[in-house]
Amino acid sequence: MAGAVLSRDAGSRSPVAAPHLSLAIVSAATALALIVFTVPLTTLGPTAEALALGPGAEAWLLSAMPLGAATGLLGSAALGDDHGRTLVFLWGLGVMAAASVIGALAPSGLVIIAARVGQGLGGAAVMACGLGLVGRLYPEGRARATATGVWAAGLGAGVATGPILAALATDLGGWPAAYWGTAILSLALLLAGRGLLPPAEARRPQPADRLGTILLMAGLAMLMSALTEMRFGLASPTVVGLLGGGAAALAAFVFVELRHPRPILDLSLFRGAAFCAATWAAFASGAGILALMTMVPTLLMRAMGASALSAAIIMTAWSATSIVTALGARWVPEALTPRRLMIGALLACALAQMLLFGVSAERAALLLPGLFLAGAANGILNAALGRQAVATVPPDRSAMGSGANNTARYLGSAIGITLGAILMAHGSETGGIAGLLDGWNAIVLITTGFSVLGALVVGIARNGTRPIATQERP
């Protein structure tokens, strides 16, 4: 295996032996970040009942972690590039552990939503710097394709095991048990990472882009709030104010990034078709297949009467399949470039999503063909995105490339999940199970549209195979 070869971590004087140990830690932490992401999928009911959460708060509970991740990924990537990926990666695990403890002790909906945002911020550091570490430890070519396939399998493993572990923990110790479990796992990986990960790169600290980070977080938070409040009407003053404020904050973010000496997002990267294609494909993945799969447990439990554990087990038709195909991506012929894989996988995701349209409350088994196809396509897509995220940026910006890619994915998922939660909750309130199923069909069509649009954009980027990493940074 490529991990048996000695590698040198840039900026460090000591060689890094057995990179496969670092890959194991990074992949396990990536899986944990996705476990944290999935905790509410099978604990939403007990949590909402215990903390008296309404439909709006439930939507926030589902989307708070991806929102925190989306707002923290670019800042974490910049910190990793400037202060050392290992250091920021370990800090991310610490933040995730602390936020999990706060979530377990939360006395109200506001506190647990804040804790979920904190978990997202910690997960952001893990995701951005973890994939950046993989990109530095493994050279371009087959070795990197294998390593990013293992990393992508970590994504699938987290999604596969998260709902099951959360359901089992809830049965044993109530809804806080899942949060205690993620806190313990975060601390265990933090201790293992301190001993096994390569030393932090010796770098000269650069001016921190604090204002850019704040503006990005504020802009995305206001836009997400506007989506949540839209259930009360598109023209309400609150929605209009939040949309305007969010747009203004994001415009200010672009203004700051264009002038900051060390921005959290180098906007010149968008001059490259490969970077644009990978970023949009990640957004389409989040707003498309990931958002829809997130809503499947709600469909199973509230419309089909499945238990939390049964819903989690049915979900493995998607998540476990994605692990297999992500690992198998290493054997994909070289002629199938990451661009072609992204197009094919997004179109396959769209087909899988349409197979889930029009399901009935009595036939849960009819979901399985769509779930299996979605898992197969999603595994290939994750592997291709992981490879492109670090291949389309200069070597010293690999964490930024990973951060931008995962920001797009989590932003897309936050938007898709919020829309799905609102549509299904509104349908349930107005029409019971029939209304919930109508809401489900609406979100199937919306998320399928994101997948198809993603494939079209990647297809248009015809020079998307040219690696930006070989170019000088402006």
Domain ranges of the chain: 17-209+260-470, 210-259
- Among 206, 190, 210, 204, which Cα is nearest to 86's? 190
Alpha-carbon span 38 to 372, nearest angstrom: 19
Tell me the pTM: 0.77
Token code pair at residue 46: 């007990």
Mean pLDDT of the chain: 83
> Residue 248 pLDDT > 90, yes or no?
yes
* Whole-number Å distance between alpha carbons of 396 and 81: 7
Q: Which CATH superfamily does the domain covering 17-209+260-470 fall into?
A: MFS general substrate transporter like domains (1.20.1250.20)
For the beta carbon of residue 119, count every other beta carbon within 10 angstroms.
Answer: 30
pLDDT tens per residue across span 9-33: 433 434 444 678 888 899 999 999 9
pLDDT in tens, 372-418: 999 999 888 888 887 777 777 777 677 677 778 878 888 888 888 88
CB atoms within 10 A of CB 352: 26
As a whole number of angstroms, the distance between CA 460 and CA 464 comes to: 9
β-pair partners for 15: 8
Q: Angle of helix 398-460 relative to helix 273-285, nearest 10 degrees?
A: 90
Q: What is the pLDDT of residue 463?
A: 53
AA letter at 353: Q
394 and 155 in contact (C-beta within 8 Å)? no
Indicate the helix (H) or strand (E) that contains 15: strand 15-16
- For the chain, the C-alpha Rg in angstroms (whole number) is 21
Q: What is the largest CA-CA distance in the chain?
A: 65
pLDDT band at 222 (very low <50, low <70, confident <90, very high): confident
Question: Which of 453, 153, 156 lies closest to 327 in space, CA to CA?
Answer: 153
Count of Cβ atoms closer than 10 Å to residue 261 Cβ? 7
Give the tokens for residue 324. 């297999």
How high is the pLDDT of residue 449? Answer: 96
User: Helix (H) and strand (E) counts for the chain?
Assistant: 14, 2
